[in-house]
Copies of this chain bind each other. A is one copy, B any other.
Amino acid sequence: MKKLPVALKKITSYRVIYGDTDQMGIVYYANYLRWFEKGRSEFLREIALPYSMIERQGFHFPVVEVSCRYVESARYDDLIQIETELSECRRASLMFNYMIWRDSDRSTIATGMTKHACTDLTGHMIRIPKILLDALEKAAL
């Protein structure tokens, strides 16, 4: 495993819309995975390597595993914060951890993780590209 130079984190925010809720009056559980994606997307932008650039360079990071624990319910109009951390960077896989909380009272809403393979555009597993390793190194300085 590639040792990560330092803990790299990024916090981004999102305002819950009506379309995110379900008839239980809380955010539908699948929508948290959209927030995870927003979190890692902003993480990559933060290290100056937006995912659109990764794709243009010929790489994909498809999700191979996800898990989420729902601690409290997010509700309509809540401003939530999404903290994303790159927690592992192996030869051919990545892992992100997520912590989601409500901005108003700082209460934890959910925690989760996604594991990603690294593939070329045809879907074959390949090594983590050097552009990512370089971007991580620069960001850690």
List chain A positions with a Cβ less than 8 A from chain B.
15, 17-19, 21-26, 28-31, 33-34, 37-38, 41, 50-52, 60, 62-70, 73, 76-77, 123
**Given that A52-B76, A52-B77, A70-B63 are known contacts, is A18 also in contact with B23, CB under 8 Å in the complex?**
yes
| Chain A contact residues: helix, strand, loop or mixed | mixed
Chain B contacts for A33, CB-based, 8 A: 19, 29-30, 33
Copies in the complex: 4
**Nearest residue, chain B, Cβ from A52:** B77
**Given that A18-B23, A18-B37 are known contacts, is A68 also in contact with B69, CB under 8 Å in the complex?**
no
How far is A64 from B24 in the complex, measured between Cα atoms in Å? 14
Chain B contacts for A34, CB-based, 8 A: 17, 19, 30
Task: List, sorted by A's number, 5 A–B pairs whose CB atoms are closer than 8 Å.
Answer: A17-B41, A18-B51, A19-B30, A23-B24, A24-B60
